[in-house]
Amino acid sequence: MKKYIIGSALAIAALLLACGNKEKTNEMAQPAATDTIQETPVAQLEEVFADSTYQLTGVAVSPDGRVFTNYPYWLDKHSYSVVEVKDGKPVPYPDANWNSFKKGDNGDNKFVCVQAVVADEKGYLWVVDAAGIGLGPVYQKSNKVIKIKLADNSIERIYKFPESVAGKDSYINDIRIDNTNGFAYMTSSSNGGIVVLNTKTGDSRFVLHDSPSVLSDPAYHFTFNGKEFAKVDGSIPKINSDGIALSPDKAWLYYKPLTDDKLYRVNTTLLRDFTTPLKTINDKVEDLGHFITTDGMEFDKDGNLYLGDLEKSSIVKMTPDLKMHTLITDTDKLIWPDSYSISNDGYLYISISQIQLMPWFNNNVNKTEKPYKILRLKL
């Protein structure tokens, strides 16, 4: 959902339970840009990849231009989990065996329910396997992060988590990598919080679980075409910490709940020191204010933050002064812009997952407009 966390009764129950906390006022809050400046689009959306069968969520572009995407195991019909796009075709990555999971299998060395893929500047692909089939509980403790060396497509390392960090009711979502300091950061959308992973030692910690910043505001009405986003039974899903981004200098972690328009950040120095008291981290969160509802988000090297306005089918650039600039609006193509990746040649890659058209939210009728797509926009 970076970037979803919707669907099964178990997952929704966890989300709604998490939203009972009352939000505090943060003294370090900064004024938000409440209006967007409409700009002439710098380019048109270009289609990179289309899949007429399976729903995708993530997108990753390596420094040398290789394109990857992933398919979460949400609905009954599922095949591969991670693919590389070659000549417009999905090729299971890193191999067929990792993409061969079936219910009943041991999920330790196979992809179970992959939520996100991210390519770093060092030549590695990072895969987040939430392992929550149908957005249910973690399958046989098989949630993990897999680090793959792109040079030879080999598994470099598999990171697992203790129950206290990412237990059976945790749905780890999106990830950002700090190779400078040797850390990774993930959102947990089911119960709200940030997983901090020391990529050198493998140690991990769960923080901000008690912070209002990771919980979706119950007062916000997340709407499409004038209708509030709701399940078939009429319940309103409140999706917690989802989108995540790391500033270019690695000093700040930005994050937000999905189903409201708030944006927050916290200094990574606090997160990297596992002796920092949890309360200290909570107290140092900066509330940046109200912006838009987005799933994923991504920084460029100049400190501009790119987001997708889900409710308005738009791509928005937020400059370092927190001003928002709409780059493009397209109600036909930007049907739940999900995840983002910026290529070295200056394109913003965008995955289109069409979550609001899934049967879960449309009286059990699948209204998705196949194919599912990856688009790109010249920045």
Chain segment 277-324, per-residue pLDDT in tens: 999 999 999 999 999 999 999 999 999 999 999 999 999 999 999 999
pLDDT of res. 25: 35
State if pTM tops 0.75. Answer: yes
pLDDT above 50: residue 2: no
What is the C-alpha to C-alpha distance for residues 199 and 333, in angstroms, rounded to an integer? Answer: 37
What is the C-alpha to C-alpha distance for residues 181 and 164, in angstroms, rounded to an integer? Answer: 24
Q: Is the dihedral of CA 312, 358, 6, 119 positive or negative?
A: negative
pLDDT above 50: residue 16: no
What is the C-alpha to C-alpha distance for residues 348 and 351, in angstroms, rounded to an integer? Answer: 10
Closest CA to 73 of 56, 61, 89: 56
Percent of the chain at pLDDT above 90?
81
Residue 358, SS3?
coil
CB–CB of 189/240 below 8 Å? yes
**Cis previous bond, 92, omega within 30:** no
pLDDT of res. 38: 56
Within a domain: 62: yes
Within a domain: 16: yes
Q: Is the dihedral of CA 85, 91, 95, 96 positive or negative?
A: positive
CATH number of domain containing 175: 2.120.10.30
Its domain, for residue 39, covers 9-378
Number of domains in the chain: 1
Window from 9-18, 140-149, 155-164, 328-337 with minimum mean pLDDT: 9-18
Q: How far is CA 88 from CA 68, 83, 84, 338, in A?
A: 11, 11, 9, 20
Within a domain: 259: yes
- Compute how many other C-beta atoms are within 10 angstroms of the C-beta atom of residue 127: 27
H/E/C letters for each residue in 307-340? EEEHHHCEEEEECCCCCEEEEEECCCCCCCEEEE
Q: What is the arithmetic mean of pLDDT over 317-346?
A: 97
Within a domain: 152: yes
CB–CB of 114/127 below 8 Å? yes
How does pLDDT run across 82-139, given as a tens digit for each residue?
Answer: 999 999 999 999 999 999 999 999 999 999 999 999 999 999 999 999 999 999 999 9
pLDDT of res. 226: 85
Question: What residue has token string 């004024």?
Answer: 31
pLDDT above 80: residue 17: no
pLDDT of res. 35: 55
pLDDT of res. 264: 98
Within a domain: 4: no
Within a domain: 98: yes
pLDDT above 70: residue 6: no
Within a domain: 329: yes
Within a domain: 1: no
